[in-house]
Amino acid sequence: MKKTVLAFSRITPAMVEQLQGEFEVIVPDPKHGDVAQQFDEALPRAHGLIGAGRPLGREQLAAATQLQVVSSVSVGYDNYAVDYFNERGIMLTNTPDVLTESTADLGFSLIMSSARRIAELDAWTKAGQWKASIPPALFGSDVHGKTLGIVGMGNIGAAIARRGHLGFNMPILYSGNSRKADLEAELDARFRSLPELLAEADFVCLVVPLSEKTKHLIGAEQLRQMKPSAFLINISRGPVVDEAALIEALRAGTIRGAGLDVYEKEPLADSPLFQLPNAVTLPHIGSATTQTREAMANRAIQNLTSALRGERPQDLVNPQVYKA
Ligand code: 8YV
């Protein structure tokens, strides 16, 4: 008998078709009523779950008595209660590597957009404000040659650092749990404590995973440690930054600007950030290119399929639960 796969977020028709070759696939659909209710009803039958962007833990999965694997279409896995998965012997997989370069592209886009005021001046032009060459009050800041601070030098952080160092001649600083001798050699990257990095960098780029340790890593005190001319870029997770403190710092001119792809509460609606011209606000699109989302989908399907076949999935987050 085919095993059952249940989607916990929207997945593409191509993914459904691929999965249907081997599994019974259930995708809750708003056309058929309440999506949460459809999910809850199907849960006791599910051997595998696939999707992204939804917290799953003890409360949500109590009825999933047959569940063997949750395949997340994301690299970050802060939405999942890994300890509970371990307790239940449920495998958790993610999609690293395939989104590294696209997410780094987006990180660098936020550096460029915030420094050169791209979104703000685009809106200004379209509003018919361009009557003469722009006044100095609308000038931007240079990116090339400025100091780039990477907080959390993982794969994505390193890919952003490469863009900055090799393409824009930027000195690289980084902070985190461990020294990266290879990147120090390759990019002349210098290790700093977080306060040192905040004080020296012209662009502070947050690329850490969200955990108890990184929640509100950047608050009012850290923003005060940054230069008034510096920019904060967040492509990690919203709660890494105390958003109220950031809004205050942007209003007060404690820092020059921010480029944001993630927020404490998503989707972001009606935020004071919308009134701030020195905040670039994107709708969590780090990995959102056609090619990368397709690669993530394929990787998530591969992981799910391996797990349900009894094979060890390529991207197993909690290997301790795997039984050959
Ligand atoms: C998207 C992401 O949020 O991979 C991650 O951790 O944040 C993004 O790729 C999303 O999970 C895409 O499905």
Spatial distance between the Cα atoms of 79 and 239, rounded to a whole number of angstroms? 12
* 3-class DSSP string for 215-238: CCCECHHHHHHCCCCCEEEECCCH
The CA distance from 236 to 109, in Å, is 15
Whether 71 is in the pocket of ligand 1, judged by its Cβ within 6 Å, is no
Q: Each residue of 157-204: pLDDT tens digit?
A: 999 999 999 999 999 999 999 999 999 999 999 999 999 999 999 999
**How far, in Å, is the centroid of ligand 1 from the Cα of 77?**
9
- When pLDDT is averaged across residues 21-27 and rounded to a whole number, the result is 97
CB 161 within 8 A of CB 175: no
Per DSSP, which regions of 53-182 are E strands? 69-72, 91-93, 148-151, 172-175
- Pocket lining: 94 vs ligand 1, CB cutoff 6 Å: no
Q: What is the mean pLDDT of residues 299-304?
A: 98
Nearest CA to ligand 1 atom 12: 74
Q: Is the pLDDT of residue 124 over 90?
A: yes
Please give the backbone phi and psi of residue 91, each rounded to the nearest 5 degrees, phi first. Answer: -75, 145
Q: What is the mean pLDDT of residues 66-81?
A: 98
Tell me the pLDDT band of 3, cut-offs 50, 70 and 90. very high
Is 144 a known active-site residue? Answer: no
Task: Please work out whether the CB of residue 74 comes within 6 Å of at least one atom of ligand 1.
Answer: yes
pLDDT given for residue 268 in this prediction:
96
Distant-in-sequence, close-in-space partners of 62: CB < 8 Å, separation ≥ 6? none
Q: Are 173 and 150 in contact (CB under 8 A)?
A: yes
How many A from CA of 56 to the centre of ligand 1? 15
50 Cβ inside 6 Å of ligand 1:
no
Asked if omega into 267 is within 30° of 0 (cis), the reply is yes
301, amino acid identity: I
Please state the pTM of the whole predicted model. Answer: 0.96
pLDDT band at 142 (very low <50, low <70, confident <90, very high): very high
- 323 band by pLDDT with thresholds 50, 70 and 90: confident
Task: Tell me which amino acid residue 212 is.
Answer: E
Phi, psi of 258 (to 5 degrees): -140, 145
- Percent of the chain past pLDDT 90, that is, above it, reads 99
Q: What is the mean pLDDT of residues 263-276?
A: 96
Q: Which two tokens stand for residue 148?
A: 């780039």
Banded pLDDT at 324 (limits 50, 70, 90): confident
Residue 287 CA to ligand 1 centre (angstroms): 6
Q: What are phi and psi of 74, to 5 degrees?
A: -165, 160
pLDDT for 113 = 98
**pLDDT tens across 234-251, in order?**
999 999 999 999 999 999
Residues 290-301 have pLDDT tens digits of 999 999 999 999
Per-residue pLDDT for 75 more than 80? yes
Instruction: Show the tokens assigned to 27.
Output: 């995708």
Q: pLDDT (tens digit, 9 = 90+) per residue, 95-112?
A: 999 999 999 999 999 999
Write the residue with the smallest CA distance to atom 10 of ligand 1.
Answer: 74
Q: Give the pLDDT confidence score for residue 233 in this predicted structure.
A: 99
Q: Is residue 286 within 6 Å of ligand 1 at its C-beta?
A: yes
Cα 50 to Cα 4, 268, 312, distances in angstroms: 11, 24, 17
Any atom of ligand 1 within 6 Å of the Cβ of 237: no
Q: What's the whole-number average pLDDT of the chain? A: 97
Residues 201-220: tens digit of each pLDDT: 999 999 999 999 999 999 99
Active-site residue, selected from the candidate residues 163, 237, 256, 299: 237
Nearest to 147 by CA among 120, 187, 119, 181: 187
140 in contact with ligand 1, CB cutoff 6 A: no
For residues 212-235, average pLDDT: 98
Which of 72, 74, 207, 266 to probe ligand 1 with, by most ligand atoms within 8 A of CB?
74
Please give the order of strands across the beta sheet that includes 190-191. Answer: 190-191, 172-175, 148-151, 203-206, 231-234, 257-260, 279-281
> Is 266 a known active-site residue?
yes
**Atom nearest to 94 CA in ligand 1:** 4
**Residue bearing the CA closest to ligand 1, atom 6:** 76
Q: For a pLDDT cut of 70, what percent of the chain falls above it?
A: 100
Contact of 170 with 164, CB cutoff 8 Å: yes
Q: Which pLDDT score, from 0 to 100, does residue 44 have?
A: 98
Atom of ligand 1 nearest to the CA of 9: 13
Residue showing tokens 């930054």 = 241
Cβ(260)–Cβ(266) under 8 Å? no
Residue 52, phi then psi, degrees to nearest 5: -160, 165
Unique residue bearing structure tokens 């030098």:
153
User: DSSP label at 164?
Assistant: I
Q: At what angle do helices 290-309 and 13-20 cross, to 10 degrees?
A: 20
CB neighbour list of residue 102: distance below 8 Å, 6 or more residues apart: 286, 287, 288, 289, 291, 292
Domains and CATH numbers, the chain: 4-96+290-321 (3.40.50.720), 100-281 (3.40.50.720)
Q: Is residue 47 annotated as a catalytic residue, yes or no?
A: no
Atom of ligand 1 nearest to the CA of 103: 9
End-to-end CA distance of the chain: 21
Assess whether the C-beta atom of 51 lies below 6 angstroms from ligand 1.
Answer: no
